[in-house]
Structure 1
Amino acid sequence: MHVVIAPDCFTGTLTAQQAAEAMAQGWAASAPHDLLTLRPLSDGGPGFLDVLAAALPDAQTLAVTVADSLGRDVPAALLVVEDGGRRTAYLESAQAAGLHLLAADERNPALTSTWGVGQLLEAALAEGVGRIVVGLGGSATNDAGAGLLAAIGAGAPQDLARGGLALADLSDAGLPGLAAARERFRGVELVLATDVESPLLGLQGASAVFSPQKGASPELAQALENALGRFDEVVRRTMPEPTDLLTGSARRLDKVPGAGAAGGLGYALLLLGGTRVSGVGEVLRAVGLRDLLRAADLVVTGEGSFDWQSLQGKVVAGVAEAALETATPSVVVAGQVLVGRREAMTLGLSGSYAVAETPAQVEAAMADPVGTLAARTARVAATWSPRA
């Protein structure tokens, strides 16, 4: 039996690679006769580059140093690959602006900046690539990508790179270089890879939904909403709104799905001419998962918490969709399973299995994530793999 093991990371405990290895260990213990192929996955957040690098052996990794969201130097990388006759650079925004780079007492979305993501874009442009794919997710920022725009010359750092809250005071002339910055990306396909479809503003926007996860109080979240609204106002005063090709009407970029991704970083990339794609969809395409599934008997995916968010563009949903297309049975092994059987079957999953179902089991799983995940996967293998 050929089994593809294709999990996401188990946030806070295991990377996608570590999760895949733990699941393979458990499966092999119960079904040593099976052929296992490991394909750790990502939806565009932390681990995006690691997943692609493992699956694309011909890719070139280029080391760079950029600023984190508080301005400190951190190591980062570009992944450059020949893709369909042109060079593609993959970037991971979390390497520069990731929440995981900050200590708990440093998390303050009023002050954090995406300047380092702009430095990553500059490095990609310097490589002369024809396509840039930016994985979005796991950010510590809520500045609508203003710091990124400052780093590539759209405006002064003292106006744009001091965090989201400072944008409330942005003058009408605060983006003098925006047109020139956009021109630098003419001829380059710029892609936003994210699982988030949130707009920039409003009840489903960056400040309302995601800034509390980054340390914002309700009062700060509202202040950030107002500041990003002011930033959008200055943008629309500076740059004519693009025209929707279908309707002929003006297209509000702040309302485009994905504009609110990574604290509004998606919005800045849209301003530069970017287009949004599903983060997991981009990864599945790059690693050739569908072709792999056509030769497999089963795919096992996983993540830390299989919940309602999993149903909306996360790795588990992407794997289940690909498995349906190739008529390959799919199951999920998750730290916790918080959706019902009907919801899981709606995705096309043939089974969902939790590592932990009680508070005591959750505590044990956090203490030994590899061992508990391997043990649960071994029990799943005993159910799914025929005895030799």
Structure 2
Amino acid sequence: MHVVIAPDCFTGTLTAQQAAEAMARGWRQTAPHDLLTLVPLSDGGPGFLDVLGGALPQARTLAVTVADPLGRDVPAAVLVVEGDAGRTAYLESAQAAGLHLLAADERNPAVTSTWGVGQLLDAALAEGATRIVVGLGGSGTNDGGAGLLAALGVGGPAELARGGMALADLADDALTGLEDVRRKFSGVELVLASDVESPLLGLQGASAVFAPQKGASPELAQALEGALGRYVEVVRRTLPETTDLMTGKPLRLDKQPGAGAAGGLGYALYLLGGRRVSGVTEVLTAVGLRELVAAADLVVTGEGSFDWQSLQGKVVAGVAGLALETATPSVVIAGQTLVGRREAMTLGLSGTYAVADSAAEVEAAMADPVGTLAARAARVAATWSPQR
């Protein structure tokens, strides 16, 4: 039996590579004769470059030093790939703006900045990239990408790079360099690889949905919403609006799907002429997963928590979709399963399995994530692999 093991990371405990290896270890305990193909995956968040680097042997890695959300130097990388159409640079925004870079008592989206992501973009431009793919996800920021824009020369760091709340007092002329920076990117295909479709503002926007996960109280999240509203107002004063050719109405970039991704980084990239793609789709294409799935008898995917967000553009949904298209059975092994059987079946999944169900099991899984995941995979193998 040929089994493709293609998980996302188990956030906070295992990288995608570690998760795939743990699943494979458990599977081999029960079904040692099965052929296993390990394909670690990412949706654009943390691990994006690791996954692509492992799947693209022709890529070279450019090491850079950038600012973290609080302005401290951290190591990062740009993955450069030569192609027939030119040079592509892959960036992972979480390397510069990631929540994991902050201690628990440092998580404050009122003051964290995306300046370092702008430095990554600058490095990609300096490498002569004609296509830049930015993985969005896992951020500890909520500044609408204002820090990124400041790093590229759109405006002063004192106004744009002090976090989301500083945008509440933004002057009308704070973005005077926007047109010049847009021209720098005019010959570059700029791609937002995002796992969410949230707009920048509103009940489904960056502040309302994601700021609380980054340390914001309800009151701070509401204040950040107002600050981002002022930011959008200044952008609209600075950048002439274009018209949607389909509706004839002004094209509001802040309302575009994914504008709210990574605390609004998507919005800043839209301002520079970017377009959005599914982060999962970008990765699945790069690693050639469709061909692997089509040749397999079973696909096993996984993530830390299989919940409602998993149904909307995450790795599990992407893998299940490919498996459905190729008529290959697929199952998910997750740290916790919070989605009912009916919802799972809408993705085409043939089974869902949790490592932990009770509070005690969750505690055990956190203490030994590799061992508990391997043990669960061994039990799943007993169900799905024919016994010899």
TM-score for both structures, normalised by structure 2: 0.99
**Counterpart mapping for 1:285-300 below 5 A:** 285-300=285-300
Alignment partner, residue 176 of structure 1: 176
**Counterpart mapping for 1:1-388 below 5 A:** 1-388=1-388
SS in 2 for 1:50: helix
SS in 1 for 2:80: strand
Shift in Å at residue 324 of structure 1?
1.0
Shift in Å at residue 170 of structure 1?
0.8
SS in 1 for 2:254: helix
| Farther-moved stretch of structure 1 (14-23 vs 240-249) | 240-249
Runs of 4+ more than 2 Å apart: 82-86
Shift in Å at residue 222 of structure 1?
1.2
Number of residue pairs matched by the alignment: 388
- Counterpart Cα distance in 1 of 2:170 and 2:361: 50
- Counterpart Cα distance in 2 of 1:175 and 1:296: 52
Q: Deviations over 1:61-110 (max 9, x none)?
A: 11000000100000000111134532211100000000100111111111
Where does the alignment leave 5 or more consecutive residues of structure 1 unmatched? none
SS in 2 for 1:134: strand
- Counterpart Cα distance in 1 of 2:171 and 2:359: 52
Q: Deviations over 1:202-224 (max 9, x none)?
A: 11111111111111111111111
Q: Deviations over 1:5-31 (max 9, x none)?
A: 000011111111100000000011111
- Counterpart Cα distance in 2 of 1:228 and 1:370: 41
- Counterpart Cα distance in 1 of 2:322 and 2:298: 12
- Counterpart Cα distance in 1 of 2:116 and 2:333: 35
Q: Percent identity?
A: 82
SS in 2 for 1:135: strand
| Farther-moved stretch of structure 1 (72-81 vs 208-217) | 208-217
- Counterpart Cα distance in 2 of 1:100 and 1:371: 23
SS in 1 for 2:199: coil
SS in 2 for 1:61: strand
Q: Deviations over 1:216-238 (max 9, x none)?
A: 11111111111100000000000
Shift in Å at residue 291 of structure 1?
1.2
SS in 2 for 1:40: coil
What letter corresponds to residue 150 of structure 2 in structure 1?
Answer: A
What letter corresponds to residue 381 of structure 1 in structure 2?
Answer: A
The RMSD of aligned alpha carbons is: 0.9
SS in 2 for 1:11: coil
Shift in Å at residue 295 of structure 1?
1.2
What letter corresponds to residue 69 of structure 2 in structure 1?
Answer: S
- Counterpart Cα distance in 2 of 1:162 and 1:361: 41
- Counterpart Cα distance in 2 of 1:340 and 1:52: 32
Q: Deviations over 1:119-178 (max 9, x none)?
A: 000000011111100000111111000000001111111111111111111111110100
